[in-house]
Structure 1
Amino acid sequence: MSYANAAPVRLDGLISAVTRNRSKDSVGPLLNRSCWDALAHHLEPRSVQPQEALINQGASDRSLYFVESGMLRIYRSDNNKRLQLAVLGPGAVVGEGTFFATIVRNASAEAVEPTFLWELSRDSFDEMLREAPTAACEISLALGAVISIRMLSVAGRLAIT
């Protein structure tokens, strides 16, 4: 996909959700309009239904997701037991751990209710890096801040997917 030729998607709902998200690990205050405009050329819409998995513990995919609406449960499985680590709602980001590192997912994410998200694959981000490097850098810094904040809590540390 070429940034110059791609038709951007409308991210008004996502931008509104991120702006309203007041959690400490929100990217809202860290991304400006030019970052969102650049992202609009590289995001793909995704929907998940209740109890449907978005991310599976042990998987090796590297996509990152921005939650526009709905709710996700983040949990770890061990010996057939689930330990809930977090519940993420509109404006949250999930999948940040494997986005930057070639490692397996350390937790799972499933929808609690119908959930609409925007997916940023690693390949799409690499395109964005070539086409809009300043915006890609700002997004990387915002995601780094999310990881740093989540690392400050035990549950957050475990929930980095």
Structure 2
Amino acid sequence: MNVSQLMAAIEALDAHDALACKLTLDDWKKVGPYLSQRFLNTGDVLMTEGDLSRELYILAEGGLEVTLRNHLITTLAPGMVVGEGTFFSGHERSATVVATGPGVAWGLSWDKFEAMSRQHPRLALDLCRGVAAVLAVRMREAVLVGHFA
């Protein structure tokens, strides 16, 4: 697994909701075995509104469109996290996410996160803090623009 691609995308992202964890390349190499790689083509659905799969993704290459009830909410660039709400809550997906072109997304399921937490608690905590910060920024924005129900 080429986690250096993932790390580079995260570090290059200049966005207010960027993943702000300070994992080194060696740290990412330890996290890598807990991640799954998903190769995307244009139009591939990464997640569907209403699904219950408890997995978050970090986009390493390509782009994603996030829609809610068939309305475009946002687009995502490499280095961005998606699926964090369901990952933490276990509730159904609130949006559909579709690839806008070829790309690669790295997934972390809740079960793999729990296993990583037992084997590498510091890394799991660092990653959790970073993803929780993304979730907090996005929740605040949703409340301010009225997308929060």
TM-score (norm 1): 0.84
Match of 1:53 among 45, 51, 60: 45
Task: Note the C-alpha offset of 1:101.
Answer: 1.1
For 2:34, what is the secondary structure of its paired residue?
coil
Q: Which runs of 4+ in 1 moved over 4 A?
A: 155-159
Match of 1:119 among 107, 113, 125: 107
Q: Percent identity?
A: 28
Partners of 2:115 and 2:64 in 1: how far apart?
28
Unaligned segments of structure 2, at least 5 residues: none
Cα root mean square deviation, aligned: 1.8
Partners of 2:27 and 2:15 in 1: how far apart?
20
Aligned pairs, how many?
Answer: 146
Match of 1:101 in 2: 89
* 1:123-143 CA-partner distances (Å, limit 9, x unpaired): 111110000011101111111
Task: Note the C-alpha offset of 1:38.
Answer: 2.7
Partners of 1:75 and 1:144 in 2: how far apart?
21
Where do residues 1-161 of structure 1 align in structure 2 (5 Å cutoff)?
Answer: 9-27=1-19, 29-33=20-24, 35-77=27-69, 82-154=70-142, 158=147
TM-score (norm 2): 0.91
Partners of 1:110 and 1:10 in 2: how far apart?
23
Aligned amino acid, residue 71 of structure 1: G
Unaligned segments of structure 1, at least 5 residues: 1-8
